[in-house]
């Protein structure tokens, strides 16, 4: 969830909100668990996230991957990358990987509306 919505339920969901959520998802992929799974006080956790607290990076995660998801979960929506930048970062990682064994689909970001389309 967009951190700013924690304190302001009227704060709109935007493409930047989706980018934040995608960054959290990237972290979940690298960790194999949900964020803040040991936190039991949802109010305290919400306030901490709204104040900029994020999960710690996972040892062994490629540096480029960590940097990309950290950009995605920046506190201020206008500081988060557009989906085209996220896609570009992921594509660079795939292309530079020596052991890329995962088949890839054709992916492209529509530059007009900045949404991602994946053709299989």
Q: Tens digits of per-residue pLDDT, 32-85?
A: 888 888 888 888 888 888 888 899 888 889 999 999 999 999 999 999 999 999
Residue 62's closest CA among 92, 19, 39, 17? 92
More confident residue, 96 or 18: 18
Domains and CATH numbers, the chain: 4-119 (1.10.510.10)
pTM strictly above 0.85: no
DSSP tally for the chain: helices H, then strands E: 5, 2
Checking phi first, is residue 32 left (phi over 0); if not, alpha (psi -120 to 50) or beta?
A: left
Compute the chain's Rg from CA coordinates: 15
Tokens of 24: 């959290």
């Amino acid at each position: 969830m967009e951190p700013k919505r924690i304190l302001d339920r009227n704060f709109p969901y935007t493409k930047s909100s989706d980018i934040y959520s995608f960054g959290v998802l990237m972290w979940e992929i690298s960790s194999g668990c949900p964020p803040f799974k040991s936190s039991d006080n949802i109010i305290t956790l919400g306030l901490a996230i709204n104040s900029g607290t994020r999960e710690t990076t996972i040892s062994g995660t490629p540096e480029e991957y960590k940097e990309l998801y950290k950009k995605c979960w920046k506190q201020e929506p206008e500081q988060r990358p557009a989906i085209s930048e996220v896609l570009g970062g992921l594509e660079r990682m795939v292309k530079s990987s020596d052991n890329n064994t995962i088949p890839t689909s054709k992916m492209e970001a529509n530059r007009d509306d900045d949404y991602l389309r994946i053709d299989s």
